[in-house]
Amino acid sequence: MKFPPHANRMHRFDPSMMALVFDYMRERSELAEAPIDGLGARQALEQALEGLIAREPKDPREVLGVYVDSLSGTILSADSPRYYAFIPSAPTEAATMFDMVVSSASLQGCSWLEAAGAVAAENQALRVLADLAGMPPESGGVFVSGGSAGNLSALVVARDKARQDRQARGIGPSRLKVVVSDQAHSSISSALNIVDLDALIIPTRDGRLDAESLQQRLSAADLSDVIAIVATAGTTNAGIIDDLEAAARWARDERWWFHVDAAYGGAGMLSPRIRHLYAGIEHADSIVMDPHKWWFAPYDCGALLYRNPRIAKAIHTQHASYLDVIHQDDVELNPSDLAYHLTRRARGLPLWFSLAVNGLDAYRDAVEYGIALAQYAAERIRQTEYLELLRDPVLSVVLFRRRGWQKADYDAWSRAMLQEQVAFVTPTSWQGEPVGRLVFMHPSTTPEMIDEVLAPLAAEPGSQTSR
């Protein structure tokens, strides 16, 4: 037998490479404020990467140098306190550090057999989220890659359970429908497309799914093929929390699956001041909350919770002879069995570590700080000439209109703010019209930073485009 020589040369401990990478991580962590960084041009990036991967090895210093000098500056820092676009990210120090532990040992979290300690700790973190939502003690779930993966996996369960129930009741196959609002996240329509369910869309008046809009649309509709209702606890565009009680009532009366998409807004329940807005969430059959959004965990981490995880297990478990060994114990629920996946990173551990290290009060304060920033921004907008607040913020998103501005003006403002490293901010649309949008997530964002991004808007209409 002839073995290739030095086949493990990639796997030997290399103290100088470790020092190199650790030094970089330390430097990045020590920055008082992460730079926003900027956009990248494909040609320049391709030039920087040219020839880097070859048959022969390269010095780690050279490769890290390319990353630091040519790549990292073109990756916008979602963890900058000046990042107000999309949904920013602000992972805690503890979560970021523990993410390195997960990476350093290639920790996985598939099953009790393979990773009991990781599964138990992840479950402890999931319990915090489930308890906050008022789900029963037997509820449980799994950390998936994000809200999209969670919504898809939940809707698979809703669909298959409905199919089984309908078959048992002797109902023949037909196209099944799910009730959603016109503000549901894009991942919901994507998931419905994948699982081949039709959307029964409820038009909302002001972005909120409420008892009236449900009544209006559903009272005259044929509901015989409806199997589920999806409500949103914190729309991504505007931070609106649907009337979850009303959605829960329809679900109970019609025996539909009740799914709550709280990917962004779920953490708002940590604030006792707004907890009542989530009333009804405790009736959900499944809930999605993204720790990589307002639970201050690093990417990628979404939490999927089921009222009865055994239903999900029966549907999602993958069967293969080599996997039988992880299913011999039928009492414990394996994370792999609760969503559409098999191998999975123990991605709940950074959140678990951070929840324990920081305590829940710190989480409450950080979330309430984001809400307070949104209220501060709303107040400034109300006081500023030419600016118009579109709705009172409930969570940490603020929508506003700049009188006289077209889409191009908002785009110019966005570009200028990035160029000056004052903010990363992108416009959106509201009721068909381009508008400004600010999202606050980072507890290191200051009121002064908000003043800076709003300042250029206070100039006379028209003067902005000329800058």
Residues that bind ligand PLP (CB under 6 A): 87, 146-148, 185, 187, 232, 236, 261, 263-264, 290, 302
Burial 264-287 (b: 16+ CB within 10 A, else e): bbbbbbbbeebeebbebbbbbbbb
Single-letter code of the amino acid located at 396? S
Nearer CB in complex with ligand PLP: 210/409: 210
| Tokens representing residue 310 in the block | 């055994």
Residue whose CB is less far from ligand PLP, 236 or 428: 236
Helix axes 147-168 and 186-195, enclosed angle (nearest 10): 40
> CB of 194: closest distance to ligand PLP in angstroms?
13
Give the nearer residue to ligand PLP in terms of CB position, either 387 or 399. Answer: 399
Q: Residue 152: name the closest of 283, 305, 339, 310 by CA.
A: 339
At 304 the three-state DSSP class reads strand
When the beta carbons of 304 and 378 are compared against ligand PLP, the nearer one is: 304
Q: What is the C-alpha separation between 234 and 303, in angstroms, rounded?
A: 15
Nearer to ligand PLP, 256 or 264 (CB): 264
d(CA 61, CA 49): 14
We find the least distance from the C-beta atom of residue 87 to ligand PLP, in angstroms, to be 6
Dihedral (Cα; 157, 159, 163, 164), 10-degree rounding: 10
Closest of 135, 128, 110, 113 to residue 331, by C-alpha: 113
- Shortest reach from residue 308's CB to ligand PLP, in Å: 22
Residue 447 corresponds to which tokens in the numbers above? 């009121």
Shortest distance in whole angstroms from residue 187 CB to ligand PLP: 4
For the CB of residue 285, give the shortest distance to ligand PLP in the complex, in Å.
Answer: 17
CA 176, CA 172: separation in Å to the nearest integer?
11
**245 CB contacts (<8 Å, ≥6 apart)?**
211, 279, 280
Taking the least distance from each CB to ligand PLP, the nearer of 111 and 181 is: 181
Q: How far is the CB of 100 from ligand PLP (least distance, A)?
A: 21
Q: How far is the CB of 46 from ligand PLP (least distance, A)?
A: 27
Q: Which is nearer to ligand PLP, 111 or 145 (CB)?
A: 145
